[in-house]
Amino acid sequence: MASFVAAGVTGATGVAAISRTTKRNELPLAAIPLFFAAQQAVEGALWLTLPVAPEGAVSSTLTYLFLLFAKVFWPLFVPLAVLLIEPDRIRRWMLIVLCAAGAGVALFFAVSMLTDNHSAHILGGHVVYSPETHLTDAIRLTYLLTTCIAPIASSHRAVQLLGLIVTAGALVTFVFYWDAFASVWCFFAAAGSVVILTHFVKEHRAQQQAA
């Protein structure tokens, strides 16, 4: 139920954020809550299918779809979305480097999803996804850099706040929910993504005042 509630809230937030954009380069950032909504809806569906048919085709498809979001989509999309609205030259170069790193991480996980078997099960009130058997510390660190540090590197305060929320969520999840890291952290990130709306509300208000 919590996953569907998160999906509804973040989905509505994404629609509101997109409605306040005025430039095409703003759309990827504004759409982040929508993508989180889709990811949370997928996990909500997993909560319904895993108790019934944990090894069935539907559960397997939903598992791979969730992991596609979590491991392939976000490390590539987050730094790109932040880069597209960044006006500062030095920060842009930092974000370009993080985009390249994100592409490498996304490729690594994409290959892993094609070559390894992945599964999910419910344990201790959380959905637990099978871990990568050949995951190195370098991959872990690069993933965190692309998903956490990229927003913090932004010159926009609301985007920085998103990065801080995501980073705090990662630390809390690492300490208390390690076995269910992907599920719990993504829930934190989805909840935190509502701050994106504040960025576009302020931008929209500033443009109206200027006009």
Q: State how far the Cα of 54 lies from the Cα of 81, in Å rounded to an integer.
A: 35
3-state secondary structure 152-193: HCCCCHHHHHHHHHHHHHHHHHHHHCHHHHHHHHHHHHHHHC
| pLDDT, position 108 | 94
The number of folded domains in the chain is: 1
Tens of pLDDT along the chain (211 residues) come to 667 877 888 888 889 889 888 889 999 999 999 998 999 899 889 988 998 888 888 999 999 999 999 999 999 999 999 999 999 999 999 999 999 999 999 999 999 888 888 888 887 777 888 876 678 889 989 999 999 999 999 999 889 998 998 888 888 877 666 666 677 776 777 777 888 888 787 765 666 555 5
The CATH number of whichever domain residue 166 belongs to comes to 1.20.1070
Residue span of the structural domain in which 109 resides: 2-210
